[in-house]
Structure 1
Amino acid sequence: MKKLLLSLLVLGVLAVALAGTWYLRREQRISAFAAAPITLPAEGVTLAVPTGTSPRTLAKLLADAGIVTDPELLYLYIRRERVGPRLKAGEYLFEGTLTPAQVVEQLASGRVKLYRFTVPEGLRVEEILPLLAGSELKLDLEELRRLASDRNFPREAGVPVASLEGFLYPDTYAFTRGATAKEVLTKMVERALEEYRKADAQRKDGVKLSLLETFTLASIVEKETGQPQERPRISCVFHNRLRQGIKLETDPTVLYAMKLLRGVYSRNITRKDLRTPHPYNTYTTPGLPPGPIASPGAAALQAALHPLDCEDLFFVSRNDGTHIFCPTLECHEAAVRKWQVEFFREKRRRQRMNGTP
């Protein structure tokens, strides 16, 4: 009887030792696997993890995509680290050289793949929407246009008028796959209003522009400015003209008015265009137009609410992106002769001498 008990004890000890050895070796394998880097293709590997994916299924998805080498060891690692409940669904981009532990950490942190697009300053809504549709988000252009033309949507998004013109803030945006047209447009409006609040906090004493008037003037400043440092001075010119009841007479508003009349945007202005009455034509209509003519950036919004102190009433392009500023009509007429008449006359003369068109 004693021999039997001794044998059972020995067998028990051996079983425990074997189990311990097996467990230790398994832990070593799991640890070695989790720390072993794998180099992914140069373009990376994108993987969509559906909602409700179990850790075992996820491990297989990762192995099938070539992101890890052993689904069973990955599953055991997930169980050992107790990260299963933290793993998040979504679309992920795995790139570079990663260990399985880093892959799991990315999934647990929810660092999903982002799709970016950039909207430059000074674009109109009709120019911005195709940029969104052509981005990697692949937004539906007709849906974008439907929302932009829906008179209720702008107000729902926080715009004080029934148009998104001027309120799709120019910036670089990042969204996850599946972002809707409504979500994207709403975010762009939110950014515009956010930048307005920042500019409003620095509003100059005596500047009484409303939110809509601010975006309207800022859009004109944006379209008129070739050099960023000139924005506050160009804003000063327009503020001075508004204060004195002088028509703004700014060409970008004429182009916008003619686009509304004809349905087609043109960069050329005729004398007839200047004389064509329209609420957006600041050669025929005093004051600010009814709304923005493009999307202004942060600097233009700041300039609209915090213009430079100046006595200027005119500015004339030097044809290099900068302007000559004048406080009097005499100064302005001299600048026009030099930079709009003589400049182009000399340019045509040189072209004829060089035989260029």
Structure 2
Amino acid sequence: MKARNIFWFSIILIGMLMVILGWVMSQKSRRAKEIGKAEKVIILVQPGAHLKEVARELEDKGVISDAGVLVFLARLSSDEKKIQAGEYEFETGMGYEQVLEALVKGRQRYYKLVVPEGYNIWQIAELLDRSGIWSAEKFLSLVKDKVFIGSLGLELDSLEGYLYPEGYFIKRYETEKDIIKMMVNRFKERWKTEYEERAKELGLTEREVIILASIIEKETGRRDEKPLVSAVLHNRLKKKMPLCMDPTVIYGLMPGFSGNLTKSNLQTFTPYNTYLNSGLPPGPICNPGEDSIRSALYPAEVNYLYFVSKGDGSHYFSSNYSEHLKAVETYQMKGK
């Protein structure tokens, strides 16, 4: 009976201590914020870090006033070994429970990665490299690693075309592999059953659709023109005409392309040169967005075979070569 009384007394005492500690610290936090002294503090919790180390850093930087109290509360709630690695943003004078909850639930800072439609693997690698956290070299190695690609359920030589262009929120200790998986999973989410069925109607594989979509993406940024460019591609393929698309030539010269497409470039053989090779290039030339993928599957019902840039972001489309030559003279030879 005496032992039981001691047990319950201990439980009540611990509960009262926790309530008092919580109240005291919440008051400190409130007062600090009221007088404008709260400051933002960034804490890096390394993978495998012990709570004691993290608590000491939190105390040193003024987030909490006593590291021992945080460790004590974590032990009481069995959370001492549950903290998650990451980059956290706290404020000085925060409450212990609030800090502990953030560490246990992984409420950390995210890095936003925005991949524009039409970016290729080298451009995405550059975006990651600019962060100073992730490696362009490692990323480029992984997107061409057949073993890794196979682990994602794909049989490809490269993930070009399957890194879906969108905004991503990435945690500090997520790896290049994690980021690539996010992008590929997003692609799989966006590739609808409707698209699969439509591709079969057209006699195309998923990969052929993505190759077409990637060319459309690079040829025009105008949504209203994408189905027209798609029609040109489909019509030329049906007639077994070379596609003759400049962006495919450029891709074949990557990553060392100078940025200035020359006549010599058009005559340089690469597997992606659609002036010298018939049919589709061997793979996508960028990572296309939703509009381009849909346009590849639903081309406009027109008989266009050519188009030329008007110099204002739009294009003039033609059904025969003589009309195309006139358009070239009108829009590209002026002033030369």
The CA distance in 2 between the partners of 1:148 and 1:41, in whole Å, is 44
Q: For 1:73-124, what per-residue CA distance to the aligned partner results, in whole angstroms no more than 9, with x for missing partners?
A: 55666677x4736953222422468741433332343212323322222233
Q: CA deviation at 1:41?
A: 6.3
Question: Does the CA contact (< 8 Å) of 1:123 and 1:294 recur in 2?
Answer: yes
Distance verdict in 2 for CA 1:182–1:206, change over 3 Å:
same
Q: For 1:291-319, what per-residue CA distance to the aligned partner results, in whole angstroms no more than 9, with x for missing partners?
A: 11122222222221222332322221111
Aligned pair partner of 1:241 in 236, 242, 254? 236
- Alignment of 1:130 with 2:122, yes or no, is no
**After the TM superposition, which of the residue ranges 222-231 and 28-37 deviates more from structure 2?**
28-37
Question: Does the CA contact (< 8 Å) of 2:209 and 2:293 recur in 1?
Answer: yes
Question: Does the CA contact (< 8 Å) of 1:152 and 1:162 recur in 2?
Answer: no
The CA distance in 1 between the partners of 2:224 and 2:39, in whole Å, is 42
Aligned pair partner of 1:94 in 89, 97, 104? 89
Question: Does the CA contact (< 8 Å) of 1:324 and 1:335 recur in 2?
Answer: yes
**After the TM superposition, which of the residue ranges 30-39 and 225-234 deviates more from structure 2?**
30-39
What SS does structure 2 have at the residue aligned with 1:216?
helix
Q: CA deviation at 1:290?
A: 0.9
The CA distance in 1 between the partners of 2:210 and 2:71, in whole Å, is 55
What runs of 5+ residues in structure 2 fail to find an aligned partner?
1-11
**2:114 corresponds to which letter in structure 1?**
T
- Alignment of 1:340 with 2:335, yes or no, is no
Matches within 5 A, 1:144-163: 144-163=139-158
Q: CA deviation at 1:225?
A: 1.0
Counterpart residue number, 2:274: 282
The CA distance in 1 between the partners of 2:18 and 2:283, in whole Å, is 69
The CA distance in 1 between the partners of 2:21 and 2:177, in whole Å, is 49
- Alignment of 1:311 with 2:308, yes or no, is no
- Alignment of 1:142 with 2:134, yes or no, is no
Matches within 5 A, 1:152-191: 152-191=147-186
**2:239 corresponds to which letter in structure 1?**
Q
Aligned pair partner of 1:324 in 316, 330, 333? 316
Question: Does the CA contact (< 8 Å) of 2:308 and 2:315 recur in 1?
Answer: yes
Q: For 1:263-305, what per-residue CA distance to the aligned partner results, in whole angstroms no more than 9, with x for missing partners?
A: 7213333334334444311112221111111222222222212
Identity of aligned residues (%): 33
Question: Does the CA contact (< 8 Å) of 2:199 and 2:206 recur in 1?
Answer: no
What SS does structure 2 have at the residue aligned with 1:316?
strand
The CA distance in 2 between the partners of 1:174 and 1:199, in whole Å, is 28
The CA distance in 2 between the partners of 1:30 and 1:181, in whole Å, is 40
Computing the radius of gyration over CA atoms, which structure comes out larger, 1 or 2?
1
Q: For 1:26-67, what per-residue CA distance to the aligned partner results, in whole angstroms no more than 9, with x for missing partners?
A: 84453242353345766542241664745x766544322311
The CA distance in 2 between the partners of 1:105 and 1:220, in whole Å, is 48
Question: Does the CA contact (< 8 Å) of 2:217 and 2:289 recur in 1?
Answer: yes
The CA distance in 2 between the partners of 1:205 and 1:130, in whole Å, is 36
Matches within 5 A, 1:158-237: 158-197=153-192, 200=195, 203=198, 206-237=201-232
Counterpart residue number, 2:291: 299
The CA distance in 1 between the partners of 2:327 and 2:110, in whole Å, is 50
What runs of 5+ residues in structure 1 fail to find an aligned partner?
1-19, 349-357
Q: CA deviation at 1:223?
A: 0.7
**After the TM superposition, which of the residue ranges 82-91 and 60-69 deviates more from structure 2?**
82-91
Name the Cα RMSD after superposition.
3.4
Q: CA deviation at 1:172?
A: 2.4
Distance verdict in 2 for CA 1:119–1:66, change over 3 Å:
same
**After the TM superposition, which of the residue ranges 111-120 and 88-97 deviates more from structure 2?**
88-97
- TM-score, with structure 1 as normaliser: 0.75
The CA distance in 1 between the partners of 2:261 and 2:120, in whole Å, is 18
The CA distance in 2 between the partners of 1:157 and 1:79, in whole Å, is 39
Question: Does the CA contact (< 8 Å) of 1:45 and 1:65 recur in 2?
Answer: no
The CA distance in 2 between the partners of 1:212 and 1:204, in whole Å, is 10
Question: Does the CA contact (< 8 Å) of 1:94 and 1:103 recur in 2?
Answer: no
Counterpart residue number, 2:45: 48
Question: Does the CA contact (< 8 Å) of 2:161 and 2:286 recur in 1?
Answer: yes
Question: Does the CA contact (< 8 Å) of 1:280 and 1:289 recur in 2?
Answer: yes
The CA distance in 2 between the partners of 1:26 and 1:182, in whole Å, is 42
